Amino acid sequence: MYLGRYRMSCANPLDPAILADYWLAELPPGEESAVEEHIFTCQDCTRQLESVIDLAEGIRTLARHGNLGMVVTREFVDRLARQGLRAREYAPQAGGAVDCTVTAHDDLLIGRLAADLTGIDRVDVALCDPSGAERQRLQDIPFRAGLSEVMLNYPIGLARQSGRDVLVMKLLAVTSQGERVLGEYTFNHTPS
């Protein structure tokens, strides 16, 4: 029998965005187990998930090569760690400083910025000189209500090329009235 081109036969295919969230471990637990169950029994959605993972692998490669700065979740970093990537994490206190470096063995460089995000609508991250001059700003970063920290994947390629440097990260709550600093975190970088 000639089956022709592959076609979707799943009556209720999962949305690729849901599959991406599933792979990134960003679904609420109840939804995650429902998706898991569906994928387990559905070949169509398994294939769809594989193509989502291929895309995500591309992102992972970018992160690995150090060209991608982004907000990540604990679950995402843990998942990459389970896949053998080594994440170096720094978690200075709000208002505090940490000495940091990066070695040839590290795959990811993670900054963890502790802050109370309760009731906040929009958060920006400003990367500043010690003088306060902004080098870069990540606007309107994604964050989940109830989390007490923001995790950033700092471009590891940039860190590797950097000499001694002091980077001040600021978490800013932004409203139409202006912005206020939620926390300041100083990274004193020394090459390894």
112 with 154: CB under 8 angstroms? no
Site of tokens 């398994």: 46
The least distance separating Zn ion from the CB of residue 39, rounded to whole angstroms, comes to 7
The least distance separating Zn ion from the CB of residue 156, rounded to whole angstroms, comes to 37
Question: Which residue ranges make up the site for Zn ion (CB under 5 A)?
Answer: 10, 42, 44-45
The least distance separating Zn ion from the CB of residue 37, rounded to whole angstroms, comes to 11
Alpha helices in 65-124 (DSSP H): 74-82
Cβ distance to Zn ion smaller for residue 11 or 133: 11
Cβ distance to Zn ion smaller for residue 35 or 152: 35
Angle of CA points 88, 90, 79, to nearest 5°: 45
Cβ distance to Zn ion smaller for residue 35 or 108: 35
The least distance separating Zn ion from the CB of residue 5, rounded to whole angstroms, comes to 18
Cβ distance to Zn ion smaller for residue 47 or 79: 47
115 with 96: CB under 8 angstroms? no
Q: Nearest 10 degrees: CA dihedral of 187, 69, 15, 3?
A: -130
Can you state the angle between helices 16-23 and 29-41, rounded to 10 degrees?
110
Can you state the angle between helices 16-23 and 43-64, rounded to 10 degrees?
60
Cβ distance to Zn ion smaller for residue 41 or 61: 41
The least distance separating Zn ion from the CB of residue 15, rounded to whole angstroms, comes to 11
